[in-house]
Amino acid sequence: FHLLPYLTACENVMLAQYYHSVTDKAAALAALERVGLAHRSDHLPKQLSGGEQQRVCIARALINEPEILFADEPTGNLDAENEQTVLRIFAELHAQNRTIVMVTHNPDLGAQTDRIIRLQHGKIQE
């Protein structure tokens, strides 16, 4: 999940803010709260489950409020409850006119989107 092993969950989320020369711990904690992980903010990646690590990455992706979010199998390691949390966040972003480009092998997730583009052998299938 490309988390730095020596940074806490909160610090890993804040890492995305460094590229904008602004760090805001309260915003990072709010992003972790949004994915249900505020209580694990001081834990290192090795102390988090795979699903928790994935949600830290999602919080990090959300912290700078991007207009376009690229999500590669964003729910692949999540249980059903946390999958719904992430999908609810994506729906909120979509309602704010943000674009989400999601890659998934799960047809149930694809069915919840406005548009599906299928690739086969690297080519778009009509």
pLDDT of amino acid 52: 95
pLDDT, tens digit, for every residue of 15-53? Answer: 999 888 888 999 999 999 999 999 999 999 999 999 999
Mean pLDDT of 42-69: 95
In terms of residue numbers, what domain contains 116?
Answer: 9-125
Do residues 100 and 90 lie in contact, with contact meaning Cβ atoms separated by under 8 Å?
yes
pTM for the predicted model, two decimal places:
0.87
- State the DSSP string of 44-66: -GGGS-HHHHHHHHHHHHHTT--
pLDDT of amino acid 108: 86
Q: For residue 1, is it within any domain?
A: no
pLDDT of amino acid 107: 86
Classify 76 as helix, strand or coil: coil
pLDDT of amino acid 21: 82
Q: For residue 46, is it within any domain?
A: yes
Phi and psi torsions of 78, nearest 5°: -105, 150
Q: For residue 101, is it within any domain?
A: yes
Domain of 86, CATH number, reads: 3.40.50.300
pLDDT of amino acid 81: 92
Whole-angstrom distance, CA of residue 5 vs CA of residue 9: 9
The DSSP H or E segment spanning 85 is helix 80-95
Task: Reply yes or no on whether the pLDDT at 1 is more than 90.
Answer: no
Reported confidence tier of residue 71, pLDDT bands at 50, 70, 90: very high
Do residues 63 and 17 lie in contact, with contact meaning Cβ atoms separated by under 8 Å?
yes
- Split into its structural domains, the chain has a count of 1
Whole-angstrom distance, CA of residue 79 vs CA of residue 42: 22
Q: For residue 3, is it within any domain?
A: no
Task: Reply yes or no on whether the pLDDT at 126 is more than 80.
Answer: no
Q: For residue 2, is it within any domain?
A: no
pLDDT of amino acid 106: 87
pLDDT, tens digit, for every residue of 81-123? Answer: 999 999 999 999 999 999 999 999 888 888 888 899 988 898 9
